[in-house]
Amino acid sequence: MIRSVLVGAVVVAFTMPSAAHVTLETQEAKIGQPYKAVLRVPHGCEGSATTALRVRIPAGLIAVKPMPKPGWTLAATTGKYDKTYTFFHNAKVSEGVAEIVWSGGNLPDAWYDEFVFQGFVAGELEPGKPLYFPVVQECEKGVHRWIEVPAAGKSAADYPEPAPVLRLLPQAAPAPQPAAQDR
């Protein structure tokens, strides 16, 4: 009995690092819909506290607005999008937030926290295509670069520091309209 518990503990200890990446809480979103991104930060760097988190916004996530965090300084860099996108009520947008930085805080290695922003998944994107959010986690001592994007035929599990990923689901079909004789 004790031996099985110890073996189980060893197995858990060796499998935990694969779940210890910066990840998105919700890893799927519908095209043409708002999306709330919650980046989960489960640890620091080699035992030291996280002091900054940077996330690059992928092409196709538009109208991004970051959420301030008490005790952290928030900065956003804007830039031109790779193309002009159609937004709510047929508005056109050609620039927006390209990177978000939360800095100056202190998230101890033993604690967990979340960093939040919202955006809109452009209707022009392709269902099934992944959107990667490269994240750089800066700590008192060290850095984790969660920026690895899988090559063809590979998965995030093949990389030590994979970028958080969002899978795109098809746009919701419009509700059927009643025929003229049914109105």
* pTM recorded for the entire structure: 0.83
Which tens digits make up the pLDDT trace of 39-80?
999 999 999 999 999 999 999 999 999 999 999 999 999 999
- Helix, strand, or coil (residue 166): strand
Contacts of residue 154, defined as CB under 8 A and 6 or more positions apart, other chains included, come to: none
Beta bridge partners of 41: 113
Q: Which domains are seen in the chain, by residue range?
A: 21-165 (2.60.40.2230)
Beta bridge partners of 153: none
How many other C-beta atoms are found inside a 10 Å radius of the C-beta of residue 101? 18
Which tens digits make up the pLDDT trace of 90-145?
889 999 999 999 999 999 999 999 999 999 999 999 999 999 999 999 999 999 99
The helix (H) or strand (E) run that includes residue 146 is strand 143-146
Among the listed residues 130, 95, 96, 135, the one whose alpha carbon sits nearest the alpha carbon of residue 115: 135
C-alpha angle 67-23-105 in degrees, rounded to nearest 5: 45
Residue where the block lists tokens 């518990």:
5
Average pLDDT score over the chain: 88
